[in-house]
Structure 1
Amino acid sequence: MLEVILDILKETTIVGQPHELKKTKVQKLLKILDGEELSAAELMDRLQLSHKPSFRRNYLNPALKLGLIEMTIPEKPKSRNQKYRRK
């Protein structure tokens, strides 16, 4: 019986949730960036996050891809002086 339930759960997909979660996270990022230029560390601090890869995957990269924010030094994306601002 448990095997049947496990098989059903493996085939089940949650519709809409991941996209909605990222949308909410990007909105939080945009609120913090309103009128300011902040580094990734400053953004993480204000969002009360500590895991950099998750922050980049869930907040920063989606906002950049959607064109909602921009880098202050786009020619050097890995610069230690890099900051981000709303477009």
Structure 2
Amino acid sequence: MLRQIDTILDEIIIQIRRSDDKRSEYVKKLLDVMEFEVPYSTVTLMQLLGIKSRETFRKNYLDPVLKLEIVVQTIPDKPNSKNQRYMM
């Protein structure tokens, strides 16, 4: 289990380094507030980061980690579901 987590974190670090600096800063902040395999709602993540704008959160934080496949949706076939959660 620890070996798997270590491997995943190594992959995340490599992917973050490949993305541009500003986005990687947002990605790092988001990953810092998330725990591995714990589902979070959009509202919860925004509160943990101190962000009030859903649009800003989605554009700067959520979309990059989803694109890099660092964070996954719990209901991928319904991305706009009110029950959608995100987890590493």
Find 1:51's aligned residue among 28, 50, 53. Answer: 53
What residue is the counterpart of 1:24 in the other structure? 25
What residue is the counterpart of 1:77 in the other structure? 79
Structure index of larger Rg? 1
Task: Report deviation, 1:21.
Answer: 1.4
Shift >6 Å, 4+ stretches:
none
Identity %: 38
Q: Distance in 2 between matches of 1:22 and 1:41?
A: 20
Residues 19-71 of structure 1 deviation map (CA, whole Å, 9 limit, x = unaligned) = 21110111111121222210011000000000111110000000000110000
Q: How many residues align?
A: 68
TM-score (norm 1): 0.74
RMSD of aligned residue pairs (Cα, Å): 0.8
What residue is the counterpart of 1:11 in the other structure? none
Task: Report deviation, 1:81.
Answer: 0.5
Unaligned runs of 5+ in 1: 1-18
Find 1:40's aligned residue among 24, 42, 48. Answer: 42
Q: Secondary structure at the match of 2:62?
A: helix
